[in-house]
Copies of this chain bind each other. A is one copy, B any other.
Amino acid sequence: MSKLIRFGVSVDAELLEKFDDMNDKKGFGNRSEAIRDLIREKLVTEEWSQTDNETVGVFSIVYDHHQNEISQILNSLQHNYLDIIVSSTHIHIDHHNCLEVIILKGECHRIKAITNRLSAERGIKHGKLIMTSTGTALL
**Interface residues, chain A, with chain B CB atoms under 8 Å away:** 1, 25-29, 33, 37, 40-41, 44, 56, 58, 60, 62-65, 67, 69-72, 74-76, 78-79, 82, 85-99, 101, 103, 105, 116-117, 119-120, 122, 125-126, 128, 130-136, 138
**Number of identical monomers bound together in the oligomeric complex:** 4
Q: Which residues of B contact A94 (CB under 8 A)?
A: 82, 134-136
Name the prevailing secondary structure of the A interface residues. Answer: mixed
Question: Known interface pairs A87-B87, A87-B103. Does A126 touch B41 (Cβ–Cβ under 8 Å)?
Answer: yes
In the bound complex, CA of A62 to CA of B93 (Å)? 24
6 contacts between A and B (CB under 8 A): A56-B91, A62-B135, A64-B135, A79-B95, A82-B92, A94-B135
Additional A-B contacts beyond A58-B99, A63-B135, A128-B132 (9; CB < 8 A): A56-B62, A62-B132, A72-B72, A82-B93, A82-B94, A85-B92, A94-B135, A101-B101, A126-B132
